[in-house]
Structures are given as C-alpha cells and as structure tokens.
Structure 1
Amino acid sequence: MAGLRELQRRGVHEAISAAAISLFLERGFDAVPVTEIAAAAGVSKPTLFKYFPTKDDLVLHRFADHQGESARVVRQRAAGEGPLDALRRHFLDGLARRDPVTGLNDHPEVVAFHRMVFSTPSLVARLSQYMSLDERALADALRECVDDLTATLLAAQVLAVQRVLARRNWLQLAEGRPLREVEPEAVHAAERAFSLLSIPDV
C-alpha cells in the first residue's frame, strides 16, 4: 500500500507540474493564477500548496532536482580522480546527454522554459538562492581535500563556470542556431573554462 500511495503522490505531483508549466509557457508566469493551475490539474488549491509551497516552486522544482549535485560529484568521484577533473567530466557528460541544466537542449519546451525563467525576476531571484546553497554545499565537499579558503573560492568559481556555460549554450539555441553547430562549441568552451580552474599547492 505504501508503494501505491507513493505512486499516486508522484502522479499528482506530475499532473500539477505539467499543468503549471503548460499554462506558464502559454501565457507567462505572472499571468497565470494558482487557482487556474489547480483547476487544470484537477486538484484543490490547498492540495496544490501541499506539493508546491509557493508559485515559484511550480517552476523551480526542476532545478531543485539537481540540488547539491556538484557536491555529490566531488564526494563520489573515482579513486585517484581530482575534484576538478570529476566536475569537468560530469559537465561534459551532461552535454553529451543533452541535460537541460547544461543549456544544451533544443527541445522547444526546454528553450521556452529557460526563456521564461530568465525573464521573470522572481524566478531569477529564487534561482540565485538555489545556486547559493549549491555553492555552500560544494565548498563543504571541497574542504575535505583542500583548505577552507581554496574550497570557498573554488566553489564560487565552479558554480560561475557552470552558470555561464549553460546560459551561453541556451542563448545560442534560443537565437536559432542548430544544435549540431552549437554542441562542438559548447564542448570546447567547457574544456577551456575548466582548464582555467586549478587547485594551487597549499
């Protein structure tokens, strides 16, 4: 029964999320009231808020799925692999998978989703909060292998690299460039960006 309840819960969560994203992409984030989303998903407004505490969460839960990812990559890296090498490998793997978080995904809904996020001030502000938490988590993971100052600075640099690369990739696709042209440039840019990062001798 517990398994069935969890499946039902996931189904409701997905139904609410799908209804919200569809309406937001059609009319804009600020133009769609939560009551309309609840009605479209076939749930009450209180039920919607049980799954998504704020309207922003209806969008940003997709980013929340990646919360703490960089820290996990560092902690779960292979024996003998440096933390920066692991982070570089993980980002390149994301490009190869067309992971939307890398910006290298030309599905129309993904491109439109990023455009909506980056053009909505409240979502940009919340996204910055997510990134701040990620930076803190990554710094904690890096402190296990480097000193405090190096870990703090390096975490900020890595998150900046990931943000700039992803935004750059998305902008190229949003401007209409074909993915087959953008992809090799995205890989080269990632290789170059991570090569600029280093862990000094301490």
Structure 2
Amino acid sequence: MTEPAGLRERKKQRTREAISNAAIRLFLEHGFDQVSIAQVADVAEVSRRTLFAYFPTKESLVVHRFVDHETESARVVRERPGDRTPLEALRDHFFDGLERRDPITGLNDAPESLALYRMIFATQALLARMLEFNQTAEEALAGALADTAGVGPGEARVAAAAIVAVLWALARENHRAIASGRSADEVFPQARADADKAFRLLDGGFGRLGAR
C-alpha cells in the first residue's frame, strides 16, 4: 500500500535530522576536516548514496541547521503589516529574535549552538558556505524589496546587501561576546543597543523604502 504523502515527508524529515545530528556530533568531537562522509554515513546508519540524496555537500550537513533562515528576511518583508516599512519589520523581527535567543542572532549560549558557531568561524569551508547562504538571503531580500517597496532592482540589491551584511555582523559580534565567557542574558542589553544603532544607520539610507 502506498504511504500517504504527509507520512513520507515526515519520514524524510526524520532521516534528514538523524543524518545531520550524527554529522554534527562527529564534527564537534573530532573536527570538521577530520571526519569523512563515509564516517557520517556509518554512524547515521545510511548509505553514502542516501546521505548525498539529502545533503549534496559535506558543508550542507552543518548549514542545514540554518536553512529555514535563508530567505527569512524576504518573508518578513513580504508578510509585514501594512503600517510597517520593510526596515521597521526587519528591525522588529531581529529584536524579537534577540528576545527569544534565536541562534541565528548569535545570542545563544546553549553549548551546542556555541560550539556550532565556533566550528563555523574556525572552518574555512563552512565559513565560505555561510557566505553563500548570505548571498542567497540577499538575493531573496532584494526580490522582496523590489516587489513590495516600490523601488527598482538596483536600489533593492544595494539595500538588501547592506541589510544582510548588518545582520551578519551583529550575529558575529554577539557570538564573540558569548564565546568570551559571558552568558546570553549578560550580553543581551549590549546586543539590543548595538542592533538599535545599526538599524538607525540603515534607516538613514533605506528607512523610507516601502513607506506608505
């Protein structure tokens, strides 16, 4: 009997998570460069072929943890309330992420999250993949700005590049502060203040985009 589509998708998601979890455990224990795809497949109890069906590259085993955020800024802009500009919506969303200690903001002191960030910043291949991640985020955000903010493609691309760069810089700074030994709660006030200043600077150039 054929499985319902929903059940198949849930099984695929569980398999994806199991493979990624096994990979990250190995990477954190032994180092990203020291672990082979064959070792990951063995620990996850899948074939190499199955592993590559879910994760086309070794780097994607790690970046998978952030994949839901890759087009998040674009979604926030497209779904913003009618009384908010794109920048206001993005600022509100980032501040909410800080409050929730969302790992994508860098303000998370859970041991695995901290170790994951440390590994990414210490591994050239992973850092390069995160820059590709940011490029995809930038392209998606530029599209959302062009579609909803009444600006041309060129201005949308410039605005998106600036916004994504600022979000990445804030996340890295938050991670550095926590990696130095401070808790997320201790870092939060400064992280909030830094984000407020950063968005004020962005507001000077792009604050009126999409204003009603």
Query: Normalized against structure 1, the TM-score is what?
Result: 0.95
Q: Is 1:184 aligned to residue 179 of structure 2?
A: no
SS in 2 for 1:111: helix
Deviates more, 1:89-98 or 1:135-144: 135-144
Unaligned runs of 5+ in 1: none
Deviation at residue 19 of structure 1 after TM alignment: 0.4
Equivalent of 2:88 in 80, 85, 90: 85
Q: Is 1:36 aligned to residue 39 of structure 2?
A: yes
| Structure-2 separation of matches of 1:90 and 1:161 | 14
Count of matched residue pairs? 202
Q: Specify the code of the residue in structure 2 equivalent to 1:161.
A: V
| Structure-2 separation of matches of 1:201 and 1:66 | 25
Match of 1:153 in 2: 158
SS in 2 for 1:177: coil
Per-residue CA deviation, residues 115-146 of structure 1 (Å, 9 max, x unaligned), is: 10111111111111111111111111112312
Deviation at residue 4 of structure 1 after TM alignment: 2.4
Equivalent of 1:168 in 173, 183, 197: 173
User: RMSD of the alignment, in Å?
Assistant: 1.4
Deviation at residue 149 of structure 1 after TM alignment: 3.5
Q: 1:52 to 1:195 in 2, by over 3 A?
A: same
Q: Is 1:127 aligned to residue 126 of structure 2?
A: no
Deviates more, 1:44-53 or 1:137-146: 137-146
Deviates more, 1:157-166 or 1:56-65: 56-65
Equivalent of 2:10 in 4, 7, 22: 7
SS in 2 for 1:143: helix
Q: 1:148 to 1:13 in 2, by over 3 A?
A: closer
Match of 1:112 in 2: 115
Equivalent of 1:49 in 49, 52, 59: 52
Query: Normalized against structure 2, the TM-score is what?
Result: 0.91
Q: Assess if the C-alpha contact under 8 Å between 2:85 and 2:207 holds in 1.
A: no
| Structure-1 separation of matches of 2:51 and 2:39 | 11
Q: Which of structure 1's runs of 4+ aligned residues deviate more than 4 A?
A: none
Q: Specify the code of the residue in structure 1 equivalent to 2:181.
A: G
Match of 2:77 in 1: 74
Q: Specify the code of the residue in structure 2 equivalent to 1:149.
A: G
Per-residue CA deviation, residues 129-176 of structure 1 (Å, 9 max, x unaligned), is: 111111111111112312333322211110111011000000100110
